[in-house]
Structure 1
Amino acid sequence: MPRLATAIHLGRGRRLAHDHAVTEQSVRPQPRRKVVSSPYIHRLQRRHFLLFDVLPIIGTVAAPALLAGHPFGVTELVLLLSMWLLTGLGVTVGYHRLFTHRTFKAAPAVVAVLAVLGSMAGQGGVISWVALHRRHHEYSDREGDPHSPNLSGGGLAGRFKGLLHSHFLWMRRHEYPNIVHYAPDLLKNRLLVRVARLYYWWVVLGLAIPALIGGLAEMSWLGAVSGLFWGGLVRIFVLEHIVWAINSFLHMFGTRPYESRENSRNGGLFALITLGESWHNNHHAFPDSPSFGLDWYRLDPGFWLIKALAAAGLAWDLKTPGRDRIEAKRITKPAA
């Protein structure tokens, strides 16, 4: 009997120790998940892909059909260029340099305008975009990078498959970065949270504005439809493929003057049309710099806007790297 009682007591002790360990484990903070994946999220991704990635392609293909009844004129050209410039600056200056990398600080009015303009580009809500891009920098060209072109095998077939994935196809379905992990600073910003919640409305506004201006300029419904196509759908298509080309082609082709952990490249020839984003190796080498060109003679319209805002007192604390730091990372030395 004493031996049996001892065995029961030990058994109870082990169970109590196990229960205590389980309780401790449940109470102890668990590591935060970096990505979230669920059927619901994947359905949202497919819907966004069809609405804002595929539909602009269809609109761009259909736009020339309008030329038979409504020629492409000054109104359409101005709407296309102005809406591309405004929403493009919203992405590069707002989404990328300000919200993702915090390369400068800005007045609340500037924050709000840049967040809205970036949302009008149709490339995702500001907080989700920031979380995705921060994850890209964390795992760039390694497993975990949502859109690397260099993880699909070698040879011509692997490179082509990688380019397709990184340029376009990755958006159909991917692991969603946990915004609590990647963008806690933005979640504390009530202004940005409010803008992010209205993301779909901002995209619609970005389509409605050129349609309204086109209709008023031509005083016709056909003018409104033409404005919708050229200032809306075609503009989204053009800007999207410019941004996507940086993720795809500029991680495979171009010059590489600075040390960085990944395969980022510069494409200086495209500096103006990308609003400075094509200085991609520069950016990955110095992600905290508001200047992507780094030197005054390298075209960087995004940095020009930041400098103008700073001159007006609307932006400050620009974290441009010094010459010593830049030269320390240089691979190719400049010619004498």
Structure 2
Amino acid sequence: MKKPKIIWLNVSVFLLTFLFAAIAVPYRAITHGFDSTEILMAVACFIYCGMSITAGYHRLWSHKTYQAHWSLRIIYALGGAFALQNSILHWSSDHRIHHKHVDNNDVDPYSAKRGFWYSHIGWMLREYQVHRYTNYDNVRDLQKDAIVMWQHKHYLLLTVSLNFGIPLLFGWWHGDIISSLLLVGVLRLVLSHHTTFFINSLAHIWGKQTYTEKNTARDNGFLALLTFGEGYHNFHHIFENDYRNGIRWWQFDPTKWLIKSCHYLGLTDKLRTSPEDKIEKARLAMILKRSQQKLSNHPNAEQLLERLQHEYDALIHKINDYYAIKKALLTTKRDQLIADVEKSEMMSQYQELKQRLTEQRRSWQFFIEKLA
């Protein structure tokens, strides 16, 4: 089978920037050195580019998990051009196809089932899907966003201006243009590229399938550190409309923190979250499945499997009861004063079901730990 044509512009950009980052930057560091101001500027630009992709390109425009003020959208649009990862329109189109056809080698633009190299960078080096490079039917909603279309129209000018202009201006101000071009320009760009690309590659290979096995996406806390919270990818692929990726308080997700902080400032609105009961049920279903597989060869498999299913069914039943009364309670709270609710029979029922659910969770956890 004949391979698609090489996209020499992409190959040149990726190769040259990587060689400068791998050779010229260390050489400059040894022979000349970088001061703390230059390093801080490079880190700041890396964070700006990364968060523009995660909070802007990904969670805002690709998945519409929240709404943002025009001023914030402009900041994201400029940061995305600075990150040199194509326009919002093109990036979002690719990403929506990826989610709709994940792991389908014929349709998914960066299918992980075609291997690490392909999903990480190979898919951008050849004209694998040239037939749809200008087909944006799946992002018609974004074509109504004036900022998206402005960035798409002027993308080349913006990306050249920002990737050369910011390092040059900083270097001129700081008194070392060469160091600034290498550190703020080249190294920052390479790190921005490959940490983002890890989500397409490593996050579909390395980690846990906490919520679903229907696709290759994985949850990986270490990758979350490198990608501003995007490492909880298994959660994201089953709950893609949630503005969060790391849903626990201890999970590293600065993109979530940024979006929430901007909400307090009035810059973001309509933050979407997934129902708690659906998240918990998805996680428990995976625990049940793995426990059943583990017990299949046990001498007392039939008896243990029956007990496991009984504990699972009891827990799901109590989860349904608990979240049903919780939803009803929240509705009631909206309709009447808190004081009245606290005195109501519904509050007593809520507290009772909450206690029962806690006890059932302990029973389930105790049984699962005994199987370990």
Tell me if TM exceeds 0.5.
yes
3-state SS of 1:209 partner = helix
Is the Cα contact below 8 Å between 1:79 and 1:210 reproduced in 2? no
3-state SS of 1:255 partner = coil
Instruction: State the AA in 2 paired with 1:123.
Output: Q
Match of 2:155 among 185, 199, 202: 199
The answer to whether 1:183 aligns with 2:146 is no
- CA deviations over 1:6-40 (Å, ceiling 9, x no partner): xxxxxxxxxxxxxxxxxxxxxxxxxxxxxxxxx9x
- CA deviations over 1:76-105 (Å, ceiling 9, x no partner): 211221010000000000000001000000
Shift of 1:203: 2.1
Instruction: State the AA in 1 paired with 2:129.
Output: E
Is the Cα contact below 8 Å between 1:150 and 1:252 reproduced in 2? no
CA distance in 1, matches of 2:214, 2:76: 30
| TM-score, normalised with respect to structure 1 | 0.78
Shift of 1:63: 1.5
Asked which structure has the greater RCO (Cα within 8 Å, sep 6+), the reply is: 1
Which residue in the other structure is 2:225 paired with?
272
CA distance in 2, matches of 1:258, 1:104: 23
- In structure 2, the CA distance between the partners of 1:137 and 1:121, relative to structure 1 (3 Å rule), is same
3-state SS of 2:287 partner = coil
Which residue in the other structure is 1:263 paired with?
216
Instruction: State the AA in 1 paired with 2:57.
Output: Y
CA distance in 1, matches of 2:135, 2:217: 25
Shift of 1:245: 1.4
Shift of 1:272: 2.4
Instruction: State the AA in 2 paired with 1:80.
Output: A
Is the Cα contact below 8 Å between 1:148 and 1:251 reproduced in 2? no
Which residue in the other structure is 1:234 paired with?
187
Which structure has greater helix proportion? 2
CA RMSD in angstroms comes to 1.9
The answer to whether 1:332 aligns with 2:294 is no
Match of 2:96 among 106, 109, 134: 134
Which residue in the other structure is 1:25 paired with?
none
Paired residues in the alignment total: 280
Is the Cα contact below 8 Å between 2:77 and 2:147 reproduced in 1? no
Structure 1: 5+ residue stretches without partners: 1-38, 152-161
CA distance in 1, matches of 2:164, 2:261: 28
The answer to whether 1:98 aligns with 2:50 is no
Is the Cα contact below 8 Å between 1:167 and 1:245 reproduced in 2? yes
CA distance in 2, matches of 1:185, 1:266: 30
After the TM superposition, which segments of 4 or more aligned residues of structure 1 sit over 6 Å from their partners? none
| TM-score, normalised with respect to structure 2 | 0.71
Percent pairwise identity: 31
CA distance in 1, matches of 2:93, 2:11: 18
Instruction: State the AA in 1 paired with 2:111.
Output: S
- CA deviations over 1:45-71 (Å, ceiling 9, x no partner): 4323422x2232022022222235421
Structure 2: 5+ residue stretches without partners: 289-360, 367-372
Shift of 1:131: 0.7
After TM superposition, the structure 1 stretch with the greater mean CA deviation from structure 2, 185-194 or 276-285, is 185-194
